[in-house]
Amino acid sequence: MASQAAPDDYFARDLPGMPGDHEPMMSPAQDAGWHVRNNASPPPALIRRALMAQHERWLGTPYRLGGTTRRGVDCSALVQNVFADTFQLDMPRTTANQVHEGRRVAQSELRPGDLVFFRPPGAYRHVGIYVGDGRFMHASSSSGVRLSSLDNQYWQRYYWQSRRPLETQHLAQRLDIPLQPGVTGEG
């Protein structure tokens, strides 16, 4: 008897050369996804906690154009470092290249881990990492690494676009930093 699995159950499909009366030897766990890492919090909450832990690590770092360390960092290097340290993802070094990563998403659909891009006056573009609750982490040229609100009139005026480098569930599966106690992932 041929397998009667749903057509979307990849592991239960009949394979070429296999008799039609075999039973599937394995099937994916139901909704395994992020449960492998943490069965108490959904992916956006896990990502938010990890990003807030990174914010605590980088807080107080001054802005320095071309800087890539905690002695001084620019916006795209902060993104590059946070994604490497938190998600083991290699991001391009510059905002001009980061703006091509992943897929474009509407500002109304932002999730923690999405990139937000701005076109302020002048030659440079700006990038930050959305952390939830309408806020993003970035290296500000005036105050260094900080959280800012997308509702701020300045950021609203110069908002350009948002991008999702990796889908939320896959980003959460790549987490590899200890999460600080007391840092919540709500929102």
184 torsion bin: left (phi>0), alpha (psi -120 to 50), beta (else): beta
What are the start-end ranges of the E strands in 64-154? 68-69, 72-73, 103-105, 115-118, 126-132, 135-140, 144-149
Annotated catalytic residue within 22, 35, 75, 100: 75
Annotated catalytic residue within 22, 35, 100, 126: 126
Q: Say which residue the tokens 């990492």 belong to.
A: 129
**Residue at 90: amino acid letter:** D
Q: Which of 85, 84, 95, 106 is nearest to 139 (CA)?
A: 95
Annotated catalytic residue within 22, 100, 138, 170: 138
Distance CA 181, CA 165 (A): 27
Q: Is 35 noted as a catalytic residue in this protein?
A: no
Q: Is 100 noted as a catalytic residue in this protein?
A: no
Q: Is 75 noted as a catalytic residue in this protein?
A: yes
Cite the active site residues: 75, 126, 138
